[in-house]
């Protein structure tokens, strides 16, 4: 029995989300090995890693233009080729300069993939009468766990990063060959009369601000949850990562159930709930810094942020005034600024006062999600 067209497109888009997630997680899983190979100290590694977000930010306006001009299907395929083929170059880099240049290209290709595949997801969602965007991001999270597990296996058997990455690239090539022709052929609301370059309207700016607040909270969890447990909660060495693990698990789970909840609550109420959970979880961890309450708090934060960005991308892709790719790129630009600003902001505040104070201020960003969403029109 042949699958319906909507199902075929959804499966194909899901595999490309998995491709994006496993490529990024594979890179991250071998950073210590690459640091050791090139004899980089922590400061030099920090400078090298900064090339990835620089490449990401550089690609944002380019990605929006390319998707609007040529359609997301072609750009997804080209971005996947660039992203997957750059990965082995990172593993085989023989100098810091070579690694920095390649990492810039990797970041550029990764965000090109991000904008185009989310535009594809908006197109796939248009075939359904219910939200499905969060499930695609759940697939990305699942790919992240898979990439980390494969990385652990490769480290266990002393397989060099370059050869590890070649295996991932070969897997990506299989996905490209099998599923590229099954992607959504035409973007939702694709209209030649819509401007490629346009000033974001109030609705897009509000979505961008929500993404900004949410990604500040995400960045805080990614970079500071382990440090918070080590220096504030102090649960013992074996339990230092439990907060981060709780956050990641609840975020991944939340993305798979988020569409079901959003279809019943509506986007506005869902965003208000997400902001409340994020702020409440952070405040719980800050006010009661022991292993049980802090872990529960980080679980709530993961559930809170899990569906915010997927819902924002979905809403941006339905813009009547901008093409989906340009609207998603505009929202991503504002959102990723939060992701980049958040971690150093926490560090500065923690140095001036304490880590508990800085995370309490981040909780304000969670509350802002609920406040901004409360002033939005239901979409």
By the 10 Å C-beta count (0-12 exposed, 13-18 middle, 19+ buried), 286 is classed as: buried
The one-digit pLDDT tens for each residue of the chain (379 residues) are 567 888 999 999 999 999 999 998 899 888 888 888 999 887 788 788 888 888 888 888 888 889 888 889 999 999 999 999 999 999 999 999 999 999 999 999 999 999 999 999 998 988 887 888 999 999 998 998 888 889 889 988 989 999 999 999 999 999 999 999 999 988 866 555 555 555 667 888 999 999 999 998 988 887 788 888 888 898 877 788 788 888 888 988 999 998 899 889 998 999 999 999 999 999 999 999 999 999 999 999 999 999 999 999 988 888 877 778 888 888 988 888 887 777 777 878 888 888 899 899 999 999 999 999 988 776 5
Which among 135, 118, 133, 130 has a CA at the least distance from the CA of 183? 118
Predicted confidence at residue 191, as pLDDT, reads: 54
Distance CA 45, CA 38 (A): 10
Per-residue model confidence (pLDDT) at position 75 = 95
The predicted pLDDT at position 281 comes to 96
pLDDT of residue 351: 82
Angle between helical axes of 267-287 and 355-374 (0-180°, round to 10): 160
What integer pLDDT is reported at residue 291 of this predicted model? 92
pLDDT of residue 293: 96
Question: What local confidence, expressed as pLDDT, does residue 269 receive?
Answer: 93
Q: Which helix (H) or strand (E) holds 345?
A: helix 324-352
Angle of helix 51-70 relative to helix 324-352, nearest 10 degrees, comes to 160
Report phi then psi at 254, rounded to 5: -60, -35
The pTM (predicted TM-score) of the whole model is 0.84
Instruction: Look at residue 341 in the predicted model and tell me its pLDDT.
Output: 78
- Residue found by looking up tokens 């965007």 in the block: 133
Give me the count of residues in the chain. 379
Q: What is the pLDDT of residue 190?
A: 58
CA-CA-CA-CA dihedral for 353, 359, 363, 365, to nearest 10? 80
Provide the pLDDT for residue 65: 85
How many angstroms separate the CA atoms of 376 and 379, rounded?
8
In order of their start, the domains of the chain are 7-180 (1.20.1250.20), 202-374 (1.20.1250.20)
End-to-end CA distance of the chain: 36
């Amino acid at each position: 029995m042949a699958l319906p067209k909507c199902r075929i497109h959804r499966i194909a888009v899901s595999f490309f989300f998995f491709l994006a997630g496993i490529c990024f997680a594979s890179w991250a899983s071998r950073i210590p090995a690459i640091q050791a190979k090139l004899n980089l100290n922590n400061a030099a590694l920090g400078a090298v890693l900064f090339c990835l977000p620089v490449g990401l930010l550089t690609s944002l306006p380019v990605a929006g233009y390319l998707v609007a001009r040529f359609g997301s299907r072609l750009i997804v395929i080209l971005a996947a080729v660039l992203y997957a083929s750059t990965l082995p170059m990172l593993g085989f880099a023989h100098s810091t300069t070579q690694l920095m240049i390649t990492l810039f290209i990797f970041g550029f290709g990764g965000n090109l993939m991000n904008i185009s595949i989310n535009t594809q997801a908006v197109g796939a969602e248009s075939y359904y009468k219910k939200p499905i965007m969060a499930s695609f991001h759940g697939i990305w999270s699942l790919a992240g766990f898979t990439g980390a597990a494969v990385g652990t296996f490769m480290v266990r058997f002393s397989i060099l990063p370059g050869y590890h990455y070649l295996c991932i690239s070969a897997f990506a090539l299989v996905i490209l060959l099998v599923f590229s022709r099954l992607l959504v052929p035409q973007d939702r609301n694709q209209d030649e009369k819509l401007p490629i370059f346009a000033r974001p309207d109030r609705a897009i700016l509000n979505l961008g601000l929500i993404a900004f607040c949410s990604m500040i909270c995400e960045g805080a969890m990614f970079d500071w949850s382990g440090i918070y447990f080590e220096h504030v909660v102090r649960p013992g060495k074996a339990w230092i990562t439990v907060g981060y693990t709780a956050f990641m698990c609840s975020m991944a789970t939340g993305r798979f159930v988020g569409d079901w909840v959003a279809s019943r609550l509506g986007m506005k109420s869902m965003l208000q709930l997400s902001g409340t959970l994020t702020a409440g979880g952070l405040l719980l961890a800050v006010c009661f810094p022991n292993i049980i309450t802090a872990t529960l708090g980080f679980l709530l934060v993961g559930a809170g942020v899990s569906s915010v960005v997927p819902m924002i991308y979905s809403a941006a892709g339905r813009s009547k005034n901008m093409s989906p790719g340009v609207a998603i790129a505009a929202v991503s630009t504002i959102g990723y600024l939060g992701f980049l600003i958040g971690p150093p902001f926490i560090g500065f505040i923690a140095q001036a006062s304490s880590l508990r104070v800085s995370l309490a201020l981040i909780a304000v960003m969670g509350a802002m999600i609920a406040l901004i969403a409360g002033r939005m029109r239901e979409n």
